[in-house]
Chains A and B, each alone.
Chain A
């Protein structure tokens, strides 16, 4: 890949140099390597196959007209939350990080001043592993530049979810990098709500040890915002990984999830739902690699689009030779509520083992007229009937959330949003 706008990279490199000189030994090393990686890869370009349906321009240009953000109210999960950490304008605003049982939470800014830290085995390492076979230079850039983020180390069962709520007022270009380490037998749930900035580049690296379990729920909502996220995860044996993302607004969103199943008998799920209206482009890009025996992976994505909104899905299941007894499932569906909206999908399978069952399905279409008629004939007004059918369409994706209380909270939140429209 050749950098389309080398200027952007070199400007950033200057910034990197300053950042790197202030880093502790491990962070210095990780940032230098990532910076070199990003320079070598160059920025993504429109003609890259990997960016076929989403223009990377807004994420790579230096001078993007960002629109001031108001602080969205996300009153979701209020009942479930005991542990909450707040980011304001892309900076950690909770100064005394909560101390909870079986889990240690630290800030990246503190840890990166140290010369030694457990995170050195993960930070930038999983991102690097996820650079093959497809280069993701914006994630490398994140590793090089990020100064803010959380480091979560779960050593046992963490009883209540950890919520990161971010608010961004005004114009902020956010670069956030979280790392989660789940030890053997440990389990933790991470919830992200709000938005880090008017434009954000977020990377989460998750290392799940054998028998560990990680759950992730994300609610993205930011009018006029540009969000790019990457999750890089490595999943050990007999372990579990589940991630669900709900997107209800945003001018441009690209959520990438790169999972590596390296231990036997594990299961992973990546699910997502989005409600898109008018100036809305939403891209889910998933790459799941099966490199172990008897693992299960699920991808479930539902997109409801109207007034010219665009939904993109690029999902891939790679089953390496020897990854026998793999069960891979992938479904991507869109509901187009009017003539102007679009759904673009590339659901891929690449399989080198014979004793596997892999399937994918993808559908796109308008709302079911018969179902609509049924509801109307029973006295449900049309807008309400459309909402009901929308909810039932999305339900399968929400059903992938493990915790029924959290799933219920998402469902009520969605119902409120539909009613308010």
Chain B
């Protein structure tokens, strides 16, 4: 929101307005790491695809797979059905591979990693050392710990706790490492959830993905700690294309966290990721995202275009997947984490908070495709629009004829703050059998004046009052997040709305 527009309402003193002005546009992670980088030549061609493949020392089959995807992509059209509007992307005017020079020689352990990189992650609040991570406090023994894979532009700079996880049989490494070290697993599952030709951005990702995370949880194993990947785009004019593949074998469990940030730059940058989750019988994956890419400034300059394909395939009976996302960043978001409920009695859940402020545009939601019997899904989506932002929920619930006795419950609520933003809901509901029950509810409203008045009359500033009401609005989703994330998300909700009260 342009802060000159701020109108002083009754009961708002000048000090509050100044405070709001001071906070407006505050993006905490907008700094940039000065580090020597090595780039592939600008633009996109078969040679670039080959170059990325060779940088990652990939086997022949992987290169062939990429090239097939690239050729396919050349024939595809950019989708235009989402309610987002952005200038045409020039795919030749950016870099597809950027890696810190110091990563040329792969570090043997975390101790060998360039201190500048370690410093970057420390500053982001993600210390890349094997320690407990709980709001920065050294945790006593037995507390929850988090293993981190840190991806910096096009490469993974390090993965913590690898050895300890290996003891439990869990493989947690960068996807480039997995392609080299565990080709049998990668070949078996890569591209089976999101096929190569799935959509424009996914196909592009298949051709040029440079790194990402790989997780394999063996049968019967409950992953001893939470796993997490932290994505950082640092280089200018560079697209980040990461690929995540998580395989939860029979009766296994893993909780996975994902975070992302980028420096503040004037030129928009592309991020097109693909995440594939495979769940076998009785497996469970909890996948949480706090997406905080640079959203652009209040005039819509710069920011990340976040075009992401995320899908979970509940292949096994009684498998369960839970997507939780807090989407506060990015200039443009195009993202629909989905569940294919193939196994009988499998379950999918989707909890989402999408906040769009200033000139941000978000078109996000989920697809629940019920194929197996007695499958269940639940969708809770909270969209918040402020400033001049547009926020769209787009979702599909499909009950196939064979998905007998299945259930879906969908709730999508939108909240509008200010009269220059938009909130939209585009659900598709397809019911092809009668023993399934589908319920869909959606509401759109503005921040309740009575609630605001209540908070204000008790001495709260307007900004704080809005944040409190909004946090209440989002509660159901915040509660579904792992604890560390919940705390971060709650703070993010407040920060993202800064400057929205006018």
Contact = CB atoms under 8 A, between A and B. Distances in A.
A421 to B, nearest CB: 18
Nearest to B424: A350
Contacts of B419: 321-322, 324, 353-355
A379 interface: no
Interface string A353-364: 111111111111
B328 to A, nearest CB: 20
Given A351-B444, A354-B417, A355-B419, A339 B425 contact: no
Give the interface SS of chain A, mostly helix, strand, loop or mixed.
strand
B434 A354 contact: no
Interface stretch (B2-10, B179-187, B435-443): B435-443
A357 B423 CA distance: 12
Interface in A333-348: 334, 336-339, 341-348
B444 A349 contact: yes
A345 B446 CA distance: 26
Q: What is the interface residue range for chain A against chain B?
A: 35 or more
B422 A351 contact: yes
B434 A360 contact: no
A334 B430 CA distance: 11
Given A339-B435, A344-B430, A361 B442 contact: yes
B224 interface: no
Nearest to A345: B429
Contacts of A359: 441-444
Between B416, B419, B438, B444, the greatest number of chain A beta carbons within 10 A of the residue's beta carbon is seen for: B444
Interface in B401-460: 401, 404, 414, 416-446
A361 B439 CA distance: 7
A348 B416 CA distance: 17
A365 interface: yes
A364 B437 contact: yes
A18 interface: no
A354 B429 contact: no
A49 interface: yes
A339 B429 contact: no
Given A341-B434, A342-B432, A365-B436, A357 B445 contact: yes
A362 B444 contact: no
Interface string B160-187: 0000000000000000000000000000
B375 to A, nearest CB: 15
A336 B427 contact: no
Contacts of A360: 425, 440-442
A373 interface: no
A366 interface: yes
A349 B424 contact: yes
Contacts of A349: 414, 423-425, 442, 444
A349 B426 CA distance: 7
Contact of A366 (B81, B417, B435, B446): B435
B422 A362 contact: no
A346 B442 CA distance: 12
A352 interface: yes
Nearest to B409: A363
B444 A348 contact: no
Contacts of A49: 81
23 contacts: A334-B431, A338-B434, A339-B435, A341-B434, A343-B431, A344-B429, A345-B427, A345-B430, A347-B425, A348-B427, A351-B414, A351-B422, A352-B422, A354-B416, A354-B417, A355-B446, A356-B446, A360-B425, A362-B427, A362-B429, A362-B439, A362-B440, A364-B437
Given A339-B434, A342-B432, A349-B424, 17 more contacts: A336-B433, A342-B430, A345-B427, A345-B429, A346-B426, A346-B428, A347-B425, A347-B427, A347-B440, A348-B425, A354-B419, A356-B416, A357-B443, A358-B443, A361-B440, A364-B436, A366-B435
Interface of B: 81, 401, 404, 414, 416-446
Interface of A: 49, 321-322, 324, 334, 336-339, 341-366
User: Which 10 pairs of residues, A with B, have the shortest CB-CB distance?
Assistant: A336-B434, A354-B416, A365-B437, A364-B431, A345-B429, A349-B425, A362-B440, A358-B444, A359-B443, A366-B434
